């Protein structure tokens, strides 16, 4: 029996099945779905590479941003969670410095790690993320090397669930598992991943996405200092009869980089008026006192976005406090207030006057749940993509049916919080 057949057989062992339930939850049909994914990926790796050496299964989850919309890049606070959707690889080491990745639905890529310099023509491409992760790891003194990988993901691009962060965190975990004994802590792994996205890929993201994917579980993160303060939280929404539902409205993030980049840039322009690099270093009362004199020095939109930052940053504190005291309804009210602030002040709900899918999804959620104890908000970067909804289980079927009737079949993802970030499974 070859190693691939052995690994496939071992997927049915009680230990591995329990591990899969730990990562992906215990909903009906989950084990059948996940073992099918793993078997398909192992067969794909065998077909491509026919390895005689060890093949690892390495996974990194997507994330849901629960509180702190666009606060991380200005050193604010967030509330986020890893989810049961992931980017998954079957991967083996090579004896050279070449990386070869075959991802479902995408052309194969090859990256030569003989050069770790930024390649301008790679910006915006997957190659840049691989090279950037490798470069930063090497700079920090970690070992790197080539690998062969077959990859699949149900964290879809443009879904608002941070497909790029999941890929970056997975790539860092691959280098770590193959060449460093899987010893890198989750904070360092997140920072390496962010560096690749900022410097090599060319997208000025904050650290929220990578930190949530890398850490796992429900976490509140304070980015005030270079070493973020991360606190695990324990709250079971299902216990209170609620489901987290992300609605994919059909928009795509792909051509919205300039819209995203303008948000941190405008916030930092306001901070610069106080001789500070980030809004977190500006006292809110100082900002509001100076507000009449700030008009004309920056755009009105920049001022509104700064107002969103100050209010949203404090809102996270209230959200965390509400969960700590098991006050779900106070928490849900803060979720609604967060969504309204993003809509009115941050202005990341719509960009195209002809396609306002996010606005429509939010309006529909409000109509269905306004007096029924639910909550809704824009999810993640905004402009296109997804909404986050806390739906009472008694309304779940109606909510999904209504949303899918408008935005298409399978537009709703009912999420579980994944308790573990980057994960390595050895099946031999």
* Residues 221 and 244 placed together within one structural domain of the fold: no
- Of 162-171, 251-260, 397-406, 409-418, give the lowest mean pLDDT range: 251-260
Query: Helices 300-324 and 284-294 sit at what angle, rounded to 10 degrees?
Result: 160
Q: Which residue has the tokens 């790029």?
A: 164
H or E element in which residue 66 lies: strand 56-67
Q: How far is CA 352 from the centre of its chain?
A: 24
Tokens of 228: 């973020």
* Residues 162 and 25 placed together within one structural domain of the fold: yes
The whole domain housing 100 covers 3-233+419-425
Tokens of 26: 């215990």
* Residues 124 and 169 placed together within one structural domain of the fold: yes
Confidence of residue 225 (pLDDT cuts 50, 70, 90): very high
Question: What pLDDT is attached to residue 381?
Answer: 80
* pTM exceeds cut of 0.75: yes
Tell me the average pLDDT across 57-63. 97
pLDDT in tens, 292-349: 999 999 999 999 999 999 999 999 999 999 999 999 999 999 999 999 999 999 999 8
d(CA 125, CA 140): 23
Average pLDDT, the chain: 94
What percentage of the chain exceeds 70 in pLDDT? 98
User: In this structure, are residues 254 and 225 in contact, taking their beta carbons and an 8 Å threshold?
Assistant: no
* Residues 326 and 209 placed together within one structural domain of the fold: no
* Residues 177 and 94 placed together within one structural domain of the fold: yes
Angle subtended at Cα 349 by Cα 194 and Cα 363, rounded to the nearest 5 degrees: 135
d(CA 143, CA 159): 33
Q: How far is CA 134 from the centre of its chain?
A: 20
Tell me the average pLDDT across 385-411. 95
Judged against a pLDDT cut of 80, whether residue 167 lies above it is answered with yes
User: In this structure, are residues 174 and 143 in contact, taking their beta carbons and an 8 Å threshold?
Assistant: no
Question: What pLDDT is attached to residue 253?
Answer: 53
Question: What pLDDT is attached to residue 290?
Answer: 98
* Residues 165 and 69 placed together within one structural domain of the fold: yes
Tell me the average pLDDT across 106-126. 96
Question: What pLDDT is attached to residue 346?
Answer: 96
Q: Which residues pair with 378 in a beta bridge?
A: 387
Judged against a pLDDT cut of 90, whether residue 27 lies above it is answered with no
* Residues 33 and 106 placed together within one structural domain of the fold: yes
CB environment 217-255: b (16+ within 10 A), e (fewer): bbbbbbbeeeebebeeeebebeebebbbbbbbbbbebee
Q: What is the DSSP letter of 142?
A: -
Tell me the average pLDDT across 63-81. 95
Q: What 3-state DSSP class applies to 231?
A: strand
* Residues 265 and 176 placed together within one structural domain of the fold: no
CATH number of 283's domain = 3.30.70.890
Tell me the average pLDDT across 117-142. 97
Detail the DSSP E strand segments found in 94-210: 98-103, 109-112, 147-153
CATH number of 75's domain = 3.30.230.10
* Residues 330 and 263 placed together within one structural domain of the fold: yes
Q: How far is CA 348 from the centre of its chain?
A: 17
* Residues 67 and 208 placed together within one structural domain of the fold: yes
Question: What pLDDT is attached to residue 155?
Answer: 85
* Residues 107 and 57 placed together within one structural domain of the fold: yes
**Helix/strand/coil (H/E/C) assignment for every residue in 76-114:** CEEEEEEEEEEEEEEEEECCCCEEEEEECCCCCEEEECC
The number of distinct structural domains making up the chain is: 2
* Residues 10 and 141 placed together within one structural domain of the fold: yes
What percentage of the chain exceeds 90 in pLDDT? 82
Question: What pLDDT is attached to residue 251?
Answer: 66
H or E element in which residue 291 lies: helix 284-294
């Amino acid at each position: 029996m070859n190693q691939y057949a052995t690994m496939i057989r071992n997927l049915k062992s009680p230990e591995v099945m329990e591990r899969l339930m730990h990562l992906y939850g215990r909903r009906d049909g989950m084990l059948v779905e996940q073992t099918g994914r793993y078997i398909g990926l192992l067969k794909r790796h065998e077909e491509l590479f026919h390895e005689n050496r060890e093949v690892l299964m390495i996974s990194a989850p997507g994330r849901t941003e629960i509180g702190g919309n666009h606060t991380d890049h200005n050193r604010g606070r967030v509330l986020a969670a890893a989810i049961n959707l992931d980017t998954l690889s079957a991967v083996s080491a090579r004896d050279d410095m070449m990386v070869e990745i075959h991802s479902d639905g995408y052309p194969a890529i090859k990256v030569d790690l003989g050069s770790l310099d930024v390649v301008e023509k790679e910006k915006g491409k997957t190659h840049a993320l691989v090279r950037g992760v490798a470069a930063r790891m090497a700079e920090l003194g970690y070992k790197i090397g080539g690998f062969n990988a077959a990859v699949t993901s149900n964290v879809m691009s443009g879904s608002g669930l941070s497909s790029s962060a999941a890929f970056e965190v997975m790539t860092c975990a691959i280098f770590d598992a193959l060449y460093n004994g899987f010893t890198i802590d989750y904070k360092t792994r997140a920072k390496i991943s962010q560096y690749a996205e900022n410097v090599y890929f060319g997208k000025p993201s904050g650290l929220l996405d990578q930190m949530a994917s890398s850490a796992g579980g429900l976490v509140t993160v304070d980015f005030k200092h270079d070493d973020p303060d991360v606190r695990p939280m324990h709250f079971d929404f299902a216990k209170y009869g609620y489901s987290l539902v992300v609605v994919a409205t059909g928009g795509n993030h792909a051509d919205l980089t300039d819209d995203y980049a303008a948000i941190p840039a405008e916030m930092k322009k306001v901070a610069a008026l106080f001789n500070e690099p980030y809004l977190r270093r500006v006292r809110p009362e100082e900002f509001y006192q100076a507000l009449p004199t700030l008009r004309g020095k920056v755009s009105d939109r920049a001022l509104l976005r700064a107002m969103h930052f100050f209010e949203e940053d404090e809102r996270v504190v209230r959200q965390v406090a509400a969960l700590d005291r098991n006050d779900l309804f106070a928490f849900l009210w803060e979720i609604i207030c967060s969504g309204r602030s993003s809509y009115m002040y941050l202005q990341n709900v719509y960009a195209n006057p002809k396609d306002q899918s996010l606005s429509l999804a939010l309006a529909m959620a409000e109509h269905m749940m306004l007096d029924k104890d639910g909550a809704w908000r824009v999810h993640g970067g905004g402009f296109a993509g997804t909404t986050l909804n806390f739906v009472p289980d008694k309304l779940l079927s109606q909510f999904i049916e209504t949303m899918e009737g408008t935005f298409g079949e399978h537009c709703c993802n009912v999420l579980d919080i994944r308790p573990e970030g980057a994960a390595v499974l050895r099946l031999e």
